[in-house]
């Protein structure tokens, strides 16, 4: 694509900033009273109004008639109000009744406890009703249906805007003001920041067409094309910021060009007792390409539970060591840091580092752990080893980045479970790089997460990182079969499985419900479950208890007793969610499973199936009638990425966007669920625009929109230069 095709959009039309400067009171029919009402729903300017998109569109060529209604079935009908009455019943509740019809028949509508409907449903007004019709006194009745006021709107496709009874705004008033605004913009049209070449390549309509057709479509096809274009604009603004941030980070920070010719990583791989998976080999190749380059690596390693992230992370740390630097691994908790230390020492046992200046030509690799539990002389020795370079790989909690900890030459850092670490901590870690302050090189950073994130979300939440994905399990991981115990009778089968596993020499976890409002209640429920199992369901077995309020030493004692097989069953709260690794544990029972989210259930389930024995997970819920989509999804698949997509569909992206949220404009039309393909296209377009023009000097229009619709802290980050 040529520079002109990717560079600037068309700037001669009206800009979003100009629209933002025009108050709605300039529109026909907006007086002081309506201006105040609009302000109450967040509309103060013409830009606010034009980006208040219809919440749905009614295709009048396709609606049901009253004579088509079938009792018991939901339907949408367009009717005219004939009469309305309100009365107060004996218990002081109100009932509003309306007779409506459409020429093909009449319908009785009743609203309980909605007295304002009497004012809303005036005689002669056209309304859309959505609800279920039931037989009533020889005719049909709808009770508490959804009502959309259409007024006297004509046209085949009628836009329905968010209405506010409180602010007394109707859909046809909003539609009238929108039409007035569009008419007054028509002569100049809308400035378009998306370059013509990108619009052609992606089949996007221009912005003037999109703005008109989202509000006044002639057909549903027109509405869809307009929605696709405007959703793309929202995603492009977010991705432009992320790509600019990523490229600025690469430009401004000096990295280490690691020497990839050494022996160490090859020795490590050939000493493994198994072959790397294709996904592991691909991720290691991506990381090595980053490490060999001049910019500091900034990469996210996403791997499902048990996909072999540790081997990939250790390969990255060894790349640093073989070039004469040090590696560090940071974990969110002491338990996890200690577990990483014992796992990595076992992986690297006997591995020797080629050392030409050593008499023997090689030396023993040195790995050290630093947490707040390590004190006294041992702590002083470890800190001295970091500073003089005699320790190759440091493993610890955020204690690694505290004041007073210095590294001889920190080359690569792995941060485990990124969502537990703040951006400030990552920045503090970078400041541990070698060299005087003005020439300091920045260590390469690899962020690991075992929480699979849908691709579209990863591109948005972690859009300033490169992403490597481990999407296959190493050989030897046994599949986990998952079962739903719906109610107390089925629960007995779960306890039976625990006894059977213990009888065969295996162990089990019992995880107690997550109680968001109080850790105290969560601990109490774990204590209660422990006593119940000891005295009833699992009487006679050796049972331990682990929860977040135990002192560190007691937590460690409980975990060690379980690891050493001195306990058959460990009753725990979600403190075991991340990283606890006992290969002999083959049964997991999760109590009140419906209190957990899909990602957390999947994480917890991943604590079993870590050895050669077949493993089971039981999800216990109070008896429910009908489906339980989250529980059923876990029973159906163990693929974390598939579950992440299901989770996004079930929860919506609200929870996800609170971390990704860029600016006050929000994503009004774009959806990470519906627009999976569009997110990828917007990201690629952002690279096509930013790479030849890093400061957007050729596309001031896009730059201005990004600045207009971004939050202050993003703006400060991007434009401080």
Burial grade of 438 (CB within 10 A; 0-12, 13-18, 19 or more) = exposed
Number of CB atoms found within 10 A of residue 657's CB:
18
CA distance 159 to 176: 11
Query: Which long-range CB contacts under 8 A does 490-495 form with residues at least 24 apart?
Result: 491/620, 493/618, 494/589, 494/618, 494/620, 495/537, 495/538, 495/589
The two three-digit tokens of residue 200, written as one number: 């052609």
Residue 442 CA to residue 437 CA, distance in Å, equals: 11
Kindly tell me if the per-residue pLDDT of 661 is higher than 50: no
The model's pLDDT over 526-578, given as tens digits with 9 standing for 90+, comes to 889 999 999 999 999 999 998 878 887 888 888 889 989 999 999 988 766 55
| Mean residue pLDDT across the chain | 85
Note the pLDDT of residue 4: 46
For the chain, domain boundaries: 1-55+161-241+678-716, 61-160, 264-470, 480-637
* pLDDT at position 421 over 60: no
Q: Do domains 61-160 and 480-637 have the same CATH topology?
A: no
Question: From the CB of residue 492, how many other CB atoms can be counted at a distance below 10 Å?
Answer: 11
Domain 264-470: CATH superfamily is P-loop containing nucleotide triphosphate hydrolases (3.40.50.300)
- Burial of 416: CB neighbours in 10 Å, binned 0-12, 13-18, 19+: buried
Q: Which residue has the tokens 């013509």?
A: 196
Give the homologous superfamily in CATH for domain 480-637.
P-loop containing nucleotide triphosphate hydrolases (3.40.50.300)
pLDDT surpasses 80 at 348 = yes
Furthest C-alpha separation in the chain: 103
Residue 663 pLDDT > 50: no
Give the CATH superfamily of 61-160: Nucleic acid-binding proteins (2.40.50.140)
SS (H, E, C) 84-136: EEEEECCCCCEEEEEEEECCCCEEEEEEECCCCHHHHCCCCCEEEEEEEEEEE
Q: Kindly tell me the burial class for residue 691, based on how many C-beta atoms sit within 10 Å of its own C-beta (0-12, 13-18, 19 or more).
A: exposed
8-53 pLDDT per residue, tens = 656 689 999 999 999 999 999 899 999 999 998 889 999 999 999 9
Stretch 294-321: mean pLDDT, rounded? 90
**Bridge partners, 509 (sequence order):** 570, 588
pLDDT tens-digit profile of 431-459? 777 666 666 788 898 988 877 777 777 77
Distance CA 177, CA 47 (A): 12
Buried b / exposed e along 633-654 (16+ C-beta atoms within 10 A): bbeeebbbbebbbbbbeeeebe
Task: Give the torsion sign (CA, 104, 105, 110, 114).
Answer: positive
Task: Please name the residues in contact with 591: beta carbons below 8 A apart, sequence gap of 6 or more.
Answer: 510, 511, 512, 513, 529, 620
Read off the pLDDT of residues 110-123 as tens digits, 9 standing for 90 and up.
999 888 888 888 88
Q: Mean pLDDT over residues 234-242, rounded? A: 90
Residues 466-492: what's their mean pLDDT? 85
């Amino acid at each position: 694509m040529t520079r002109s095709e990717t560079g600037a959009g068309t700037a001669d039309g009206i800009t979003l900033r100009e629209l933002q400067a025009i108050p709605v009171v300039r529109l026909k029919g907006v007086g002081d009273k309506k201006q105040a009402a609009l302000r109450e729903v967040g509309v103060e300017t013409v830009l606010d109004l034009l980006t208040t998109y219809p919440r749905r569109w009614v295709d009048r060529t396709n609606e049901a008639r009253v004579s088509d209604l079938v009792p018991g079935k939901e339907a949408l009908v367009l009717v005219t109000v004939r009469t309305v009455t309100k009365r107060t019943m004996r218990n002081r509740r109100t009932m509003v009744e309306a007779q409506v019809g459409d020429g093909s028949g009449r319908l009785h509508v009743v609203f309980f406890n909605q007295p304002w409907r009497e004012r809303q449903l005036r005689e002669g007004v056209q309304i859309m009703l959505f609800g279920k019709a039931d037989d009533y006194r020889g005719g049909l009745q709808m009770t508490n249906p959804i009502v959309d006021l259409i007024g006297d709107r004509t046209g085949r496709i009628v836009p329905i805007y968010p209405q506010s009874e409180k602010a007394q705004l109707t859909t046809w008033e909003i539609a009238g003001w929108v039409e007035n605004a569009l008419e007054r913009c028509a002569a100049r049209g809308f400035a378009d920041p998306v370059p013509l070449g990108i619009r052609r390549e992606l089949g996007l309509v221009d912005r003037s067409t999109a703005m008109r057709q989202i509000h006044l479509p002639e057909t549903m096809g027109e509405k869809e094309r307009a929605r696709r274009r405007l959703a793309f604009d929202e995603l492009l603004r977010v991705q432009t910021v992320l790509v600019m941030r990523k490229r600025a980070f690469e430009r401004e920070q000096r990295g280490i060009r690691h020497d990839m010719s050494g022996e160490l990583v090859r020795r490590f791989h050939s000493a493994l007792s198994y072959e790397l998976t294709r996904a592991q080999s691909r991720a290691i190749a991506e990381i090595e390409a980053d490490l060999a380059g001049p910019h500091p690596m900034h990469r996210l390693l996403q791997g499902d539970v048990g996909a072999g992230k540790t081997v990939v992370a250790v390969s990255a740390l060894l790349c640093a060591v073989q070039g004469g630097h040090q590696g560090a691994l940071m974990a969110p908790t002491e338990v996890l840091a200690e577990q990483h230390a014992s796992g990595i020492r076992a992986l690297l046992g006997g591995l020797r580092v080629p050392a030409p200046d050593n008499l023997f030509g090689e030396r023993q690799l040195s790995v050290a752990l630093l947490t707040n539990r390590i004190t006294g002389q041992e702590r002083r020795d470890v800190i001295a080893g970091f500073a003089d370079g005699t320790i190759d790989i440091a493993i610890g909690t955020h204690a690694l980045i505290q004041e007073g900890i210095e590294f001889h030459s920190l080359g690569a850092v792995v941060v485990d479970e990124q969502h537990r670490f703040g951006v400030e901590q990552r920045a503090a870690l970078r400041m541990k790089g070698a060299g005087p302050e003005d020439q300091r090189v920045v260590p390469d950073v690899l962020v690991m997460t075992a929480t699979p994130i849908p691709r579209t979300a990863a591109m948005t939440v972690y859009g300033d990182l490169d992403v490597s994905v481990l999407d296959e399990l190493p050989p030897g991981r046994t599949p986990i079969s998952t079962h739903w115990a719906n109610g107390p009778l089925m629960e007995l089968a779960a306890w039976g499985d625990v006894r059977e596993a213990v009888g065969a020499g295996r162990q089990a976890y019992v995880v107690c419900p997550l109680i968001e409002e109080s850790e105290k209640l969560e601990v109490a429920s774990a204590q209660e479950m422990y006593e119940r199992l000891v005295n009833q369901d699992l009487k006679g077995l050796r049972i331990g208890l682990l929860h977040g309020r135990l002192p560190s030493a007691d937590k460690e004692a409980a975990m060690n007793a379980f690891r050493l097989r001195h306990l058959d069953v460990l009753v725990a709260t979600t403190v075991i969610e991340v990283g606890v690794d006992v290969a002999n544990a083959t049964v997991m029972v999760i109590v009140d499973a419906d209190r957990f989210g899909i990602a957390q259930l999947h994480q917890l389930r991943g604590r079993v199936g870590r050895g050669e024995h077949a493993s089971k997970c039981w999800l216990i819920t109070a008896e429910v009638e009908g489906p339980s989509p989250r529980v059923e999804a876990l029973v159906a698949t163990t693929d974390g990425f598939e579950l992440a997509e299901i989770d996004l569909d079930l929860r919506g992206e609200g929870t996800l966007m609170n971390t990704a949220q860029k600016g006050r404009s929000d994503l009004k039309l774009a959806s990470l669920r519906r627009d999976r393909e569009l997110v990828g296209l917007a990201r690629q377009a952002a690279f096509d625009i930013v790479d030849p023009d890093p400061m957007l000097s050729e596309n001031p229009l896009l730059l201005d929109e990004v600045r207009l619709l971004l939050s202050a802290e993003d703006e400060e980050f991007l434009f401080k230069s």
